[in-house]
Amino acid sequence: MSARLETRGLRLAYDARVIVEDLNLSLQTGKITAIIGPNGCGKSTILRSLARLLAPKAGAVLLDGKDIHALPSRTLARQLAILPQGPVSPEGLTVEALAWFGRYPHQNFMQGRSSSDAKIIRDALQQTAMLELKDRSLETLSGGQRQRAWIAMSLAQDTPFLLLDEPTTYLDVMHQLEVLQLLTTLNAETGKTIVMVLHDLNQAARFSHELIAVQDGRVVAQDTPERVLTLNLLRSVFGLEAHLIRDPHSGTPHVIPYALAAREA
């Protein structure tokens, strides 16, 4: 049975500023979920809390019913991998060396690197089409290649959960599609549960099984893209007047904004 990730009564804050209050959330196992919402609504804060990068002021994040803050770091790192927005690496680090960082939670200090570790690294590089670039330093790569290299590291961590904070930020359209198609393939082939924060509503609808819409630190909708992306939600959450059509390629909802919604007096 696959692990289950959920929150109960979660309150998240930076100093005295509360961002998320009383969040109860359950993520679909083996699916791709995108967290959407306007800037500053708490999307990345929620993702950080799921990865134990932010301690809650109240409530808990549970993995198979256990509070993640009570789990040993190595145990959690074997379950959850997170790719933050704009990760930074030491100068001169190669693609393969970066991927090896993903194996640290699984390695025995006394034994060092094993042949099984090497196979997992090779598989991760192959899955992300980075095997031929394994000896290249990260600073010599394109934006899309660098993002694939970081995803390879996350895959080498060999976890059932992969969390990504705005994985398409700063990428052009071609590289955005490259990354999102890679995540779709990984989910289909491995059953990995993927949770990502996305700004582009059409990409979120096309590449996700489920959307979680967040407004002012609370979940206002959680369901399939067809059920979440309604004209009322676009108006109330994003402040948009829009047309909703069906994407001719994927059949998913496609948002065409045409005006800002009138603000209530």
* Statement to judge: residues 148 and 44 lie in one domain: no
Helices (H), the chain: 43-50, 73-77, 95-101, 115-127, 143-156, 173-190, 201-207, 225-228, 231-238
Check whether 109 has a pLDDT greater than 70: no
Domain boundary among 125, 158, 191: 158
Q: Which two tokens stand for residue 6?
A: 């959920």
- Rounded-to-integer distance, Cα 196 and Cα 61, Å: 17
What is the number of domains present in the chain? 2
3-state secondary structure of 191: coil
For all residues of the chain together, what is the average pLDDT?
A: 94
* Statement to judge: residues 127 and 140 lie in one domain: yes
* Statement to judge: residues 120 and 248 lie in one domain: no
Mean pLDDT within 122-146: 94
Instruction: Give the domain CATH number at 66.
Output: 3.40.50.300
* DSSP 8-state secondary structure symbol assigned to residue 137: B
* Statement to judge: residues 129 and 60 lie in one domain: no
Q: How many CA atoms lie within 13 A of 188 on its CB side?
A: 9
Residue 27, domain extent: 1-79+159-265
* Statement to judge: residues 116 and 188 lie in one domain: no
Check whether 89 has a pLDDT greater than 90: no
What percent of the chain lies above the pLDDT cut of 90?
86
* Statement to judge: residues 186 and 251 lie in one domain: yes
The DSSP secondary structure of 67-115, one letter per residue, reads EGGGS-HHHHHTTEEEE-SS----TT-BHHHHHHHTTGGG--TTT-S-H
* Statement to judge: residues 137 and 173 lie in one domain: no
| Residues 240-253: tens digit of each pLDDT | 999 999 999 999 99
Ranking 69-73, 171-175, 206-210, 261-265 by mean pLDDT, the lowest is: 261-265
Check whether 265 has a pLDDT greater than 80: no
Q: What is the pLDDT of residue 21?
A: 95
- Is the Cβ–Cβ distance between 18 and 42 less than 8 Å? no
* Statement to judge: residues 154 and 167 lie in one domain: no
Q: What is the pLDDT of residue 87?
A: 87
| Residues 33-48: tens digit of each pLDDT | 999 999 999 999 999 9
Check whether 1 has a pLDDT greater than 50: no
